[in-house]
Chains A and B, each alone.
Chain A
């Protein structure tokens, strides 16, 4: 057993060379690779952390947006509700107004129909009254209603002559209007009598089917009517009174 110091020196040199070679070709590439991979993993983890933070930030922003949208939706819903309520009120008011207008129109129409009906009733009543009166006069005294009305008109006019002359003023025509054309003797009698009272005024005879049966004298600004309107009104009042009494009786019988 001996030590060859030249071999020892050579082996030390060999070992140092081997250390350098392995450092160059083995350790450094592997350790650098490990370091690079560790660095890459660290970077990826940092990126992952960053991405996670970004995702959390995005999530926060999303939640905030959702919250804002919810608030906006609530506000919008409230606004829409208020607008709808306002619109409903407006529509209701318009409908109410329309209903009132229609009701008023209907009432007007009803009133017009009532007036027409009353007019028809007046005409029918007047016609009936007139025919009855005419028939009674003809049967009892052998005289026509028109002749009797004309004489009565002359009788009524005579005391009022001064007043009528003042009302006539400068008028030169007096108009006698009747529901139907007067018989010729009646017209002649009226003409002669009125000429005695108003010599400067000429007389005209006209017919108006809308007018109540009777005679109406118009001279200047004055008008003197001798019709059956007051009798018809009295007849209406009588009928209404009888109808009211009848309805009261019916109500009482129902109550019993």
Chain B
């Protein structure tokens, strides 16, 4: 039994093994892109909004309002990044119900990649917002003694993100596989339904945490901090 889709090679392209993680990631990407193109192809200001457009606007504005609520302000770049994180993870997790589909998020490589991207995005957003000196100065706050702890804190965030997502998705898939062997007619359905719920929650938590990390790096010192709920 392969616990990770990384070990399943679909085919070799020019000597480069394309495993299931990458393959299903492309499927998710293609699905999201095609759906986006289909939904937004007739999106013109002179055309009255239809149901699809209204639904998309509600989703995008919902994501935007969530980001604004967490970050205290609405930034387009943060929306692109965190929204894509949410849509990718949510779509990957929701496609778990399709038989034979292995969600890319069940691979530690994918979650690590996403966590690394968050790790890279945090300083990039911080530098673009505060400037290089301003961002580096946050590592010395409240005093320079905290520098190693701040560095450890940054890395531990990424690792916790990666492990959290991977653990939840992979455990759900593994438990479903085990229960399929024990009681093939009842438990898999319940676990799949539960997996849909936890998948959406994980996508939401992953995107929110990424937003929180990035916004904490980009928040200006004069900005009042929002109370955590």
Contacts and interface: CB of A to CB of B under 8 A. Distances in A.
B43 A19 contact: no
Contacts of B112: 3, 8, 11
Contact of A25 (B6, B40, B61, B114): B40
A16 B117 contact: yes
Nearest to B6: A4
A7 B109 CA distance: 6
Contact of A22 (B25, B57, B80): B80
A22 B60 contact: no
Nearest to A22: B84
Given A15-B88, A30-B43, A37-B45, A23 B80 contact: yes
A19 B116 contact: no
B140 interface: no
Query: In this complex, which of B19, B40, B76, B116 has the most chain A Cβ atoms within 10 angstroms of its Cβ?
Result: B40
B81 A19 contact: yes
Chain A interface SS verdict (over half): helix
Contacts of B37: 25
B4 A2 contact: yes
A34 B61 contact: yes
B36 A7 contact: no
Interface residues of A, number: 31
Among A9, A17, A34, the most chain B Cβ lie within 10 Å of the Cβ of A34
Interface string A17-34: 111011101110111011
Nearest to B108: A3
Interface residues of B, number: 43
A30 B40 contact: yes
A174 B43 CA distance: 141
B83 interface: yes
Contact of A7 (B39, B43, B87, B110): B110
Contacts of B79: 27, 31
A7 B17 CA distance: 10
A33 B57 contact: yes
A1 interface: yes
Given A19-B80, A25-B37, A33 B45 contact: yes
B19 A14 contact: no
B110 A11 contact: yes
A40 interface: yes
B56 interface: yes
B211 interface: no
A117 to B, nearest CB: 110
B80 A11 contact: no
B81 A4 contact: no
A245 interface: no
- List 8 A-B pairs, minimum CB-CB distance, nearest first: A11-B113, A26-B36, A7-B109, A36-B45, A25-B36, A29-B40, A4-B6, A19-B84
